[in-house]
Amino acid sequence: MIRPPALLILADGTTFEGYAAGHLPSTGVTTGEFVFNTALSGYQEVITDPSYAGQIISFTYPHIGNYGVTALDNEALRPWCRGIVVRDLTKQPSNWRATSPLESLLVQYEIPAIVGIDTRRLTRHLREHGALPGAFGHASADAVRAAAMSATGTDHTDLVSAVSTPEPYVRGSGSLHVVAFDYGIKHTMVRQLAERFRVTVVPAATGADAVRELSPDGVFLSNGPGDPAALGAKIAVVRELLGTVPIFGICLGHQLLATALGGRTGKLPFGHHGSNHPVQDLVTGRIEITAQNHNYAVTPDSLDQGLVSHVNLNDGVIEGIAVPDERCFSVQYHPEAGPGPHDARYLFDRFENLLRTQRLESR
């Protein structure tokens, strides 16, 4: 296969040379915010995670596509990332589960890629300068450069509305009923909830009154893309539900819950994207290895109520909060972990125990 030459240019002018792969857009250019992911496997789950909407994913692991793809590993009905950056894209996968090569998925869902890039150099640059907007493609150097200079990041942008389900749907059949807000919910997250509860997944724009009409035992706030500070209406709904029903939030859901509790959020320099972040539970002292995917985080000492329950041992970022009086808690990382370790899946059991205790106390 002869691939057309392509350029990757960041908004600060830094330039990389490679080759175009995957979907080749008619314009010859793709723009977005560049971030790097350090996971050694799980590339399909990463690409199909709706939390990457608006972003271009650079994989630090050099060989991507080795074991192909299967629809069983999709985390959404379609990918929402803008594109991917890879050092070596495997042409012929080898795995008994594989139904096709990774590139076929990229072509099917019109996801552009650039390969042959020195992803180690790109990662170092993003670590030093932070996540940067930019562009890549097989168009002329002037066209790619112009697109890079006008590209925007995810700041102050509501990306949730684009990725959320347009209609409610139900999964599971447990005795407890949970309403899950879909801010960009992953399939693995829905499966973990459905193993324990009857789950009604609702659009992100659902109001508090509509949730109460469903008579849930608990409310779940999902992961999702973009800047939580741009989601004022959704934060107001969470604030209205506080204290009326137990709440569990993950990733963006954690940020929205913290903001509803009076906290603030800010953007990390290059975010946390990978499957090997050590997090300490400050209550038990236990250390968990976690999967993470976020650019924004809760600002320290900004909460009006509640306590910090978990912290990242790499950089001290707040990884969990809890407010027992309001029967709510949340974590910044991904306990459902697809891909990644399963150290933190006990949090789904903790949510179930909270709901069962609440039901007994209300009798």
Query: Which distant-in-sequence residues (6+ apart) come within 8 Å of 153 by Cβ?
Result: 33, 54, 131, 132, 133
Determine contact, residues 19/116, Cβ cutoff 8 Å. yes
Distance between CA atoms of residues 308 and 238, nearest Å: 19
Closest CA to 267 of 156, 159, 123: 156
103 noted as active-site residue = no
Per the DSSP assignment, residues forming a β-bridge with 137 are 7
Q: Which residues pair with 250 in a beta bridge?
A: 331
Check 81, 251, 294, 328 and give the catalytic one. Answer: 251
268 within 8 A of 295, measured Cβ to Cβ: yes
Q: How long is the chain?
A: 363
Which residues sit opposite 272 in a β-bridge?
294
CA atoms within 13 A on the CB side of 100: 11
Is residue 328 flagged as an active site residue?
no
Strand pairing report for 328-331 and 247-250:
parallel
Task: Please tell me the number of Cα atoms within 13 Å of 108 on its side-chain side.
Answer: 13
From 125, 319, 334, 352, active-site residue = 334
- Active site (annotated) includes residue 334: yes
Side chain identity at 70, as an amino acid letter? T
φ, ψ of residue 279 to 5 degrees: the values are -130, 135
Report in angstroms the alpha-carbon separations of 192 from 83, 95, 196, 205, 351. Answer: 28, 26, 7, 23, 11
∠ Cα 284 285 286 (to 5°): 90
> Which DSSP category does 25 fall into?
-
Residue 129 to residue 151: CA distance in whole angstroms? 16
**Which residues, in sequence order, are CB contacts of 314 under 8 Å at separation 6+?**
277, 278
Contact 58, 27 (CB under 8 A): no
Catalytic positions are 251, 334, 336
